[in-house]
Structure 1
Amino acid sequence: MAYKDYYDTLGVSRSASEGDIKSAYRKLAKQYHPDKNPGDESAAGKFKEMGEAYAVLSDPEKKKVYDTYGHSGQVPPGAYPGGAGGGADFGGFGGVDGSQFSDFFQGLFGRSGGRGGMGGAGGTQVNFEDLLGGAGGGIGGGRRFVQNVEGELQVSLREAYSGTDETITVDGKRISMRVPAGTRNGGRLRLSGQGPGGGDVLLTVRVLEDARFELEGDDVNVTVDVPVHVAAVGGPARVPTLKGDVTLNIPAGSSGGRQLRLKGQGWPKKGGGAGDLYAKLNLTLPASLSEQEQALYQQLADLRK
């Protein structure tokens, strides 16, 4: 099995700071984002691997376990958050293929379909609560064990914004569920009675960072490339939003770095309505200029002297 090194996946050293890890992830995610590489399975695979690596290295507890036991792949009892361990072989944690980490919990708790994956480097935690059942709860009226299963579900920013349907597997049973629109990072979802023995399934939602959009409270920030001549004289430009692209009229004389607000195009608010989207202008020039264009730019430069 191939060794999977999360630091190598993100191209950072083991001494990299939290900021370095975040910066490396955002740079690579922008390069391999599915929206920029439609139909490219290789890019999609790399994008998923980067999300898996970032999910571990951006979480202090998971990173600590990975740094401590990563080379051996053997996690002692109680070392991993949620009580996993006891010599369990956590695949991606050194020496074995990262997919084995997901396989460790597959029989009890898995996710099929969709991106991100249950378990794996996302850090599925399995906890059990033993509750006494009434008479007849087990063979001969013995104890009846109810198991609460706790895990982490990864979704993209767009999926969290619009909501998404997922299918997970708990104790061999496939369960369809809905992640509500506007779900925040760290949000908790409870599937009552869907766990082993009638227990609950408790999911913590991790919203993966997006290479294009940045969420700040209820507002969304995005950078928009605008040709310099459009910024100078004004004109339309396409602005990406979480709902889809819209046309925005760029005011004449706009400079690079200027932010234009699109009201109500941000993240859904709990009490109704939505935040705003702020489009930051990035002025661009053609990669090459014709002789006529060069002459016109020279005329403009002479006028500005």
Structure 2
Amino acid sequence: MAPQNLGTFCLLLLYLIGAVIAGRDFYKILGVPRSASIKDIKKAYRKLALQLHPDRNPDDPRAQEKFQDLGAAYEVLSDSEKRKQYDTYGEEGLKDGHQSSHGDIFSHFFGDFGFMFGGTPRQQDRNIPRGSDIIVDLEVTLEEVYAGNFVEVVRNKPVARQAPGKRKCNCRQEMRTTQLGPGRFQMTQEVVCDECPNVKLVNEERTLEVEIEPGVRDGMEYPFIGEGEPHVDGEPGDLRFRIKVVKHPIFERRGDDLYTNVTVSLVESLVGFDMDITHLDGHKVHISRDKITRPGAKLWKKGEGLPSFDNNNIKGSLIITFDVDFPKEQLTEEAREGIKQLLKQGSVQKLHCYLFHLRFGHLPLVWPVSLPAAVS
């Protein structure tokens, strides 16, 4: 082999050996940068798990392998200690390996009953008894509605487990015919049951990851299939988290728009102002006025509201209503005169009297009555 070809072969061999030692690129598998936050990692896993699940890809011979790689990537990168080891030494540097069931990870996001994608209603077989559904109110903040989040819910779930002995099951009414004599029969209805393995209900701790999607609306539900009440002779019901958006101290939600009130001083209301409002995710919204601001005046900031649930790229408006903080102490006579001279404006109080609804043509007759300045 020529020296040049030998050198190329050696470099290639070293690259392959290094790749084997380094193991799989978990960041690439999840499609996230190495600086990804835990929320980014959870969001990426949830999205890809729906796409790569073997039940959705029956014709792909590598579907199971891809799904296992995805689960391994999430298991390592969602754990701060394992992620630190992986970032430093690669997959081979993980001390205890990563042996969690990838089906368990999937069920944390979508539920426990088959491949239902955490929100697709399952087809109910009328002949299979089913446990009751559970509805749990889940309080979320307006900050979470704005930016999205993952909420970890830990609950004790009653699960039916096999126990020693047998039990009666699938009981039903059946007709029995008894011959009493020649040509005489008696028909009776009896309860007939099968024998099934005995079961007992035990509480098991379950951790569920509920994704709060940006723009989620109050009252929306997130179902987890098979996480409801168990049924010893059938399948468990579903668990549904119902969103309850808690009241915010500064912003009020109306659809995708946000409303807030800002108080300015009397001086600012007359001469203008520049200020910043801290938004729900911490960024600053700059507002500026160079004209008189009356109490109740409104300012619209388009695109500074909440993201639309149907399209996060579209945002509502931020509507700001201004209040004016008037001085609480009485002005001195000198201050009053100074303000009058500065504004060069006398009394313009007028009382419009509509007590007489006399009309001339189509116009009402109105008598403006000037009030003396001393009248308060």
Higher Cα radius of gyration: 2
Query: Higher RCO, 1 or 2 (CA under 8 Å, sep at least 6)?
Result: 2
TM-score by length of 2: 0.38
